[in-house]
Chains A and B, each alone.
Chain A
Amino acid sequence: MQPFTVHQGLCATLVRDDVDTDQIIPKQFLKRTDKDGYGEACFFDWRYDSGGNPDPSFELNQPRYAGASILVTGQNFGCGSSREHAAWALLGYGLRAVIAPSFADIFRTNALQNGLLPVTLTLAEVRLLTERAQTDEGWQVTIDLTRQSVTDALGHVATFEIEDFWKECLLEGLDPIAMAEKRDPEISAYEQGRSALLPTTSYLGAL
Chain B
Amino acid sequence: MSGNPQERVLLYIDLHLVHEVTSPQAFTGLRAAGRSVRRPDLTVAVMDHLVPTWERNRPTPDPIGREQLRQLQENCRASGIPLFDLHHQQQGIVHVIGPELGVTQPGMTVVCGDSHTATHGAFGTLAFGIGTSEVEQVLATQCLWQAPSPTMEVRIDGELPHGVVAKDVALGVIRQLGVSGGRGSVIEYTGSVVRALSMEGRMTLCNMTIEAGARAGMISPDQTTISYLEGRPASPRGDDFDRATERWLSFASDPGAQFDRTEVVPASELAPFVTWGTTPAMVAPVTERIPYLTDMPDQASRDATGRALAYMGLAEGTAIQDIAIDRVFIGSCTNSRIEDLRQAAAVAAGKKVHPKVRAMVVPGSGTVKREAEREGLDRIFRDSGFEWREAGCSMCLGMNPDILMPKERCASTSNRNFEGRQGAGGRTHLVSPAMAAAAAVHGHFVDVRQLSATERI
Contacts and interface: CB of A to CB of B under 8 A. Distances in A.
A201 B103 contact: yes
B399 interface: yes
Contacts of B25: 33-35, 84
Interface residues of A, number: 61
A31 B399 CA distance: 8
Chain A binding surface, main DSSP class: loop
Contact of B233 (A31, A190, A195, A207): A207
A202 B79 CA distance: 12
A79 B213 CA distance: 7
Contact of B115 (A35, A82, A163, A206): A82
Interface in A123-178: 163-165, 168, 176-177
B130 A82 contact: yes
A163 B179 contact: no
A102 B155 CA distance: 26
Given A82-B113, A113-B134, A202-B41, A186 B1 contact: yes
Contacts of B234: 199-201, 204
A33 B50 CA distance: 14
A196 B15 CA distance: 14
A179 B40 CA distance: 21
A30 B82 contact: no
Contact of B129 (A82, A165, A199): A82
B398 A201 contact: no
A79 B68 contact: no
Given A22-B421, A27-B399, A201-B15, A113 B183 contact: no
A195 to B, nearest CB: 7
B331 interface: no
Contact of A204 (B101, B215, B307, B418): B101
A106 B129 contact: yes
Given A177-B137, A204-B101, A82 B22 contact: yes
Nearest to B398: A27
Interface in B80-107: 81-84, 88-90, 101-103, 105
Most buried by B among A109, A187, A199, A207: A199
A206 B4 CA distance: 40
B310 to A, nearest CB: 12
Most buried by B among A18, A33, A82, A179: A82
B6 interface: yes
Contacts of B134: 109, 113
Interface in B6-57: 6-8, 10, 12, 14-15, 21-22, 24-25, 28, 33, 35, 40-44, 50
7 contacts: A28-B424, A31-B399, A33-B28, A34-B25, A82-B114, A84-B131, A113-B131
7 cross-chain pairs, A with B, having the tightest CB-CB distances, nearest first? A205-B82, A165-B6, A110-B131, A113-B133, A33-B24, A76-B180, A84-B131
Interface of B: 1-2, 4-8, 10, 12, 14-15, 21-22, 24-25, 28, 33, 35, 40-44, 50, 62, 64-65, 67-68, 71, 81-84, 88-90, 101-103, 105, 108, 113-115, 128-134, 136-137, 140-143, 145, 147, 179-180, 183-184, 213, 215, 233-236, 240, 243-244, 247, 279, 300, 303-304, 307, 397-399, 416, 418-421, 424
